[in-house]
Structure 1
Amino acid sequence: MELWIPITIAAAFLQNIRSAMQKHLKGVMGTTGATFVRFGFGAPFALLFVAVLHFGAGHALPRLNAAFLVWMIVGGLGQIAATFLLIHLFSFRNFAVGTAYSRTEPAQAALFGLVFLGEKISAGVLAAIGVSVFGVMLISVAHTPLSWRALLAALVGRNALVGLASGALFGVTAVAYRAASLALGGPNFIMQAAVTLAWVIVFQSLLMALWMLWKDRAEIGRIRKAWKPALIVGLAGATASFGWFMAMTLQQAAVVKALAQVEMIFTFASTVFFFRERINLMEIAGCLLIVGGILLLLALG
């Protein structure tokens, strides 16, 4: 088994934990604060990863260059913008369709990987990505009373366009992070991923902190009061991101993001076994498609 596969699955599992904790934090702070926690409380851990690798394991620090800084900034800004658009979808009456289209990230990452990095993907891998993406889209609209006519009408609706834009930005972000890590050129994929993560997460933390100081200072107080669970979010988020960055240094971003859809399976396992909630036939079909797409991806890889 190639190393990027278990790394991606572990990152997806940790991201599921981080997402669950962020939902808990939404009860004590706003969307801005819950989003900042992911970056601000993750930054110390990202810096710790670099310190342990450098001073503990003896890995040399890679030399920074202009290409790295450009891709790092593009990825950092793209992720913030994509997250903002995803949250903005909840202001629409029928946000499920838009959210479904935001899940086209792996397919769009394949396109951007070709445009920006010249990376080509085989027809079989594209088919595997398509199967898993369609599965996620089914799950996204599973609880929405949509007819085929309404679904087709939604294709050109504002929420669908916002969802596609969010997916596009997430796709650009994934490709940018891979490009930034590869631009460092060494000493190894672990150190490249750690340094890229540290720069990105500190950059994003500073941007969001400045935004809150300017627009929402009360949120800073709410964050301070919830620092203990915020630390857990920061640790899980930083570790998950470290996994994503390592995997995307080893493998094309689109392929990593396609396998990352396994996170939905972890989410449904939690829903069924821990929260004792029922899932409908469309959700089951979506899960089966995700599993089928992942198995096809691994068989081709």
Structure 2
Amino acid sequence: MLWIPFTLLAAFMQAWRNAFQKQLSKDVGVAGVTLARFIWASPLAAVYLWALYQWQPVAMPSFSAGFAGFVVAAALAQILATALMVKLFKLRNYAIGAGLAKSEAVLAAVLGVVFFSESLTALGWLGVALGGCAVFLLSGASLRQLSLPVMLLGLGSGLAFALTSLWVRQASLVLGLPFPHGAAWVLLLVILLQTAVLLLWLSMKHRPTLTALWQRPKLTLLISACSCVGSVGWFTAMSLESVALVKTLGQVEVLFMLLISAFVFKEKLQKADHWGLALIVLAAIAVMWA
């Protein structure tokens, strides 16, 4: 049951990371806000991995081509997912925009069963379904009038996050190291690759964005720190339990987002948001019992 506290930690830290990203997005472009998530996370992830080896020394990993493929795919998919979520911030308010991207739990369940040989109990599927209904309510969409740009960005971000999670889990399983060292290696390598890709892209295409991040060191560091701790939670939880259950429980992040949205950003919530919140609580209970 260790996957539960790790998931709750991840959800809490990710809510704050998204809040800080929203603040940074007012002054920095999408690619820069995405880079802020990774740029200082690499040394933090390296320190975490070093601490694990000091606590419990294990053999060094043997990297295969299959493992490298999963790491590269996960790193690129997470960059895309984060960029789409930042765009969401500009279309709807903070809680609704980030809540839409939580469609990843439903997508991860379907993709995991169809392509990754994962399985869910009936109670697990119930939790995933309840979480999907909650996402729909939080999107503010109606059957008569859907906001197509918001829905497409939300589903696109959710799909990319779902694929990221599934590939991260596969990389951890392929590596074959004991808990939690395998997840820590995957985390470090994914973040290193993401940082290198974004730094190279921005240095060639948009250097002023790097300058803008340099001029906002505290906010950038906060985003990276929250992202790193959150990723430790996600990667570790997904090495222990199926992605669908982890991500469905992880929707409690919306609990934290709604509180941040209301008390920090002073954004008003609609009645449907409260119904969505209730469904998320029921979904979390279902997957924990599953």
Q: What residue is the counterpart of 1:176 in the other structure?
A: 167
Displacement of 1:162: 4.6
Deviation at 1:41, TM superposition (A): 1.3
Q: Please say if 1:259 is aligned against 2:254.
A: no
CA shift in 2, pair 1:26/1:85, >3 Å: closer
What's the counterpart of residue 219 of structure 1?
A: 209
Does the C-alpha gap of structure 1 residues 274 and 89 become closer, same or farther in structure 2, counting only changes over 3 Å? closer
CA deviations 1:181-225 (Å, max 9, x no partner) are 111101x22111110000000000000001101111011111112
Stretch of structure 1 that moved more, 52-61 or 237-246: 52-61
Are residues 1:232 and 2:219 paired? no
| Offset from partner CA, 1:60-94 (integer Å, 9 cap, x none) | 3322122211111111111112233344557779x
Q: 2:155 aligns with which of 155, 164, 186?
A: 164
Q: Which residue of 2 aligns with 1:149?
A: 144
Cα displacement (A) at 1:264:
0.4
Q: Which amino acid is 1:78 matched to?
A: A
Normalising to structure 1: TM-score of the pair?
0.87
Question: Which blocks of at least 5 consecutive residues in structure 1 are unaligned?
Answer: none
Which position in structure 1 is the counterpart of 2:188?
198
3-state secondary structure, aligned to 2:16: helix
Please report how far the alpha carbon of residue 101 of structure 1 lies from its aligned counterpart in structure 2 after TM superposition.
5.8
Identify if the C-alpha distance between structure 1 residues 215 and 137 changes in structure 2 by more than 3 Å, giving closer, same or farther.
Answer: same
- CA contact under 8 A between 2:100 and 2:136: conserved in structure 1? yes
* Residue aligning to 2:289: 299
Change (3 A) 1:28 1:51: same
Give the Cα separation in 2 of the matches to 1:195 and 1:76.
Answer: 13
Once the two structures are TM-superposed, the CA of residue 160 in structure 1 deviates from its matched residue by 3.6
- Change beyond 3 A, Cα 1:45–1:229: same
Please list, as runs of the form range in 1=range in 2, the aligned pairs for 1:80-119 lying within 5 A after superposition: 80-88=79-87, 102-119=101-118
**Counterparts of 1:182 and 1:202 in 2: how far apart (Å)?**
20
Is the Cα–Cα contact under 8 Å of residues 103 and 137 in structure 1 kept in the other structure? no
User: Per-residue deviation at 1:270?
Assistant: 3.0
Q: What stretches of structure 2 of length at least 5 have no aligned partner?
A: none
Structure showing greater radius of gyration is: 1
Quote the RMSD (CA, aligned, Å): 2.6
Aligned counterpart, 1:39: 38
